[in-house]
Amino acid sequence: MNRTQVVILAAGLGTRLGSPLPKSLTQLDDGRTILAQQLGNIRDVFGDDAQVLIVVGFKQDLVMEAAPDAVFVYNENFDQTNTSKSLLKALRQTGDGPTFWMNGDVVFHPDVLRRVAEAARTGRSAIAVNTADTAEEEVKYLVNDAGLVTALSKQVRDAAGESVGVNVVAPQHKAALIEQLDRCDDQDYFERGIELAIDASGIEVVPVDITDLFAVEVDFAEDLERAISVRRAHGGPTA
């Protein structure tokens, strides 16, 4: 049986948050870092069987010290590339099973990952989405009549909702996604790779609705405040 593999993208500079630390090491109100709550969610959903791969770059030693049991993939061009290239490096190190991945700055309820895992168990690639919000700076998506994702970017208009940064690629789609991430420009987000894989390779990606849960991507100080607020509203450290 293939071991569950989960990738955390934590290589970036995170300059917009104004912290000297990698964003994944930003502290929450319960004393944990964003990385620690993500690792806790992974354990909550998959137990101790999941292999965690963390893509590091900026101040990588600090991230490695914070997660000594993880496997690390180094993006040596972390200051010149975006998440498409970090995900590409990680996926090339994974096995034949489905691979989950998340941005290293997302504070989320463990059930977000659990719902994405349910989609993976049926052999599908999936993105977790919030259908209530479509902020201008967030990654948005469109679907066709079959409910499959057709577009995924910040530029989407009349969107069905927002992608929250927790995803899975099915085994049969992984090679296509790797190929298209390789085609991406250095500054592209990984969502561009998904779009190309849908358009050029015909992979099918389903949106998984997590609107009733919380998932906040922390780019700015106000995002951190919102993440802390909604986490408290949903019930504490493991929620």
CATH number reported for the structural domain that contains residue 200 in this entry: 3.90.550.10
- From first to last of its 239 residues, the chain has per-residue pLDDT tens of 468 999 999 999 877 777 899 999 999 999 999 999 999 999 999 998 899 999 999 999 999 999 999 999 999 999 999 999 999 999 999 999 999 999 999 999 999 999 999 999 999 999 999 999 677 788 999 999 999 999 999 999 999 999 999 999 999 999 999 999 999 999 999 999 999 999 999 999 999 999 999 999 998 888 888 888 887 777 654 44
According to the model, what pLDDT value does residue 121 have? Answer: 97
Question: What distance in Å separates the CA atoms of residue 60 and residue 195, rounded to the nearest whole number?
Answer: 29
H or E stretch at 51: strand 51-56
DSSP strand pairing (215-217 vs 5-10) = unpaired
Give start and end residues of each alpha helix (H) in 10-96: 34-46, 60-66, 83-91
Task: Map residue 173 onto helix, strand or coil.
Answer: helix
Question: What distance in Å separates the CA atoms of residue 22 and residue 230, rounded to the nearest whole number?
Answer: 22
Question: What distance in Å separates the CA atoms of residue 11 and residue 23, rounded to the nearest whole number?
Answer: 9
Task: Map residue 184 onto helix, strand or coil.
Answer: coil
8 A C-beta contact, residue 122 and residue 98: no
Provide the domain limits for residue 22.
5-233
238 found inside a domain:
no
Indicate the angle between helix axes 83-91 and 171-183, nearest 10 degrees: 140
According to the model, what pLDDT value does residue 129 have? Answer: 97
Report residue 118 as tokens: 């349910």
Query: Dihedrals φ, ψ of 162, to 5°?
Result: -115, 145
239 found inside a domain:
no
According to the model, what pLDDT value does residue 222 have? Answer: 87
According to the model, what pLDDT value does residue 8 have? Answer: 98
- How many Cβ atoms sit within 10 Å of the Cβ of residue 236? 9
According to the model, what pLDDT value does residue 135 have? Answer: 76
85 found inside a domain:
yes
183 found inside a domain:
yes
H or E stretch at 226: helix 221-233
Model confidence, pTM: 0.94
Which amino acid would we find at residue 152?
A: L
16 found inside a domain:
yes
Which residues make Cβ contacts (< 8 Å) with residue 54, sequence separation at least 6?
A: 7, 8, 10, 35, 63, 64, 67, 70, 71, 72, 73, 104
Report residue 193 as tokens: 């790779």
Number of domains, the chain: 1
Question: What distance in Å separates the CA atoms of residue 61 and residue 176, rounded to the nearest whole number?
Answer: 32
Measuring CA to CA, which residue among 75, 122, 90, 42 is closest to residue 193?
90
